[in-house]
Structure 1
């Protein structure tokens, strides 16, 4: 079965975006770029929420480089209740995904293919976390304190135990933490 991987850039406090929605605080270096490319090469599908899709579709179809080329060629699903069409430049590979999110993601996980990745799209990550449909969390902690912002995880019932699979420190000071669901107990308590 295909895995769903949530790949998220975070501040030290766990914010995924600054209070005004700014993302200019991300730190990048060559090793982090290589790490991101390796993840992108391991998947065949990207899942975006509507807001993240609108930001990404305005940039990546016209960007240069290997990351842009790979992003543009992959199948994309846009979780939306409002968009009927999801164009992606000259590519015909972005589809709206509506209906019950958990049911749709379970269906996609059962299809043949490589793993799927979610970039940004905090509400989708929270929803799929609640439904235990994320198999791996790749959290890239940036060396910055934002003070205020949008947290990745909101409140949900119960606990989900994670196991640290990998930790990688980048020259920029960022740290990539890869967590998987603990085999001993997926969910200890449901409310």
Structure 2
């Protein structure tokens, strides 16, 4: 069975976006891009909620993204993408499949198919339902050295506590820290 790895950038105060959906504070530098390229080589599919998908689809296929980070952009554009959505009727970003049914059931089916791990980027609301169904196998949380104070809290609405087991903690020169966990037990 394939693993589903949730990757999210957070602030120290646990926010994944600032007011109005601002993510301009995400710290992305060469060291992060090396990590991202390696991570994208280890997966063969990307999972998104609609809102995250729309942001990614507006950025990665652009000439700016290809110029700024060609390795990550090429992989983001080529990998199969799966979007949990109730509202989208079509997707223009190459290699995108819309998951229009029950998101947890659709993603459980994807996990049962052969292949490497799947990466779930952002998509905090979708992640809540996947955590509840026990479908996330690993959490990779990049903590950015910043306190926003206001914005959207990661995994808001998770109804019960979940214990996690630390796999790795890695500090970057930027001050970001990557924390990797798996569900305990």
Structure 1 length-normalised TM: 0.91
SS at 2:115 equivalent: coil
Of 75, 78, 86, which residue of structure 2 is paired with 1:81? 86
By percentage of residues, which structure has more helix?
Answer: 2
Q: Tell me, yes or no, if structure 1 residue 7 matches structure 2 residue 12.
A: no
How many residues matched? 180
Alpha-carbon distance between aligned partners in 2 of 1:16 and 1:159, rounded to the nearest angstrom:
19
Kept in 2, the 8 Å contact 1:78–1:97? The answer is: yes
RMSD (Å), alpha carbons = 1.0
1:37 — aligned with what?
37
Alpha-carbon distance between aligned partners in 2 of 1:52 and 1:158, rounded to the nearest angstrom:
25
Q: Which segments of 5 or more consecutive residues in structure 2 lack a partner in the other structure? A: none
Alpha-carbon distance between aligned partners in 1 of 2:47 and 2:31, rounded to the nearest angstrom:
24
1:152 — aligned with what?
154
Greater Cα offset, 75-84 or 21-30: 21-30
Q: 1:153: how far off?
A: 1.3
Kept in 2, the 8 Å contact 1:29–1:170? The answer is: no
Deviations 1:111-134 (A, max 9, x none): 001110111111111110111110
Structure 2 length-normalised TM: 0.94
Q: Which segments of 5 or more consecutive residues in structure 1 lack a partner in the other structure? A: 184-191
SS at 1:125 equivalent: helix
Kept in 2, the 8 Å contact 1:5–1:135? The answer is: yes
2:74 — aligned with what?
69
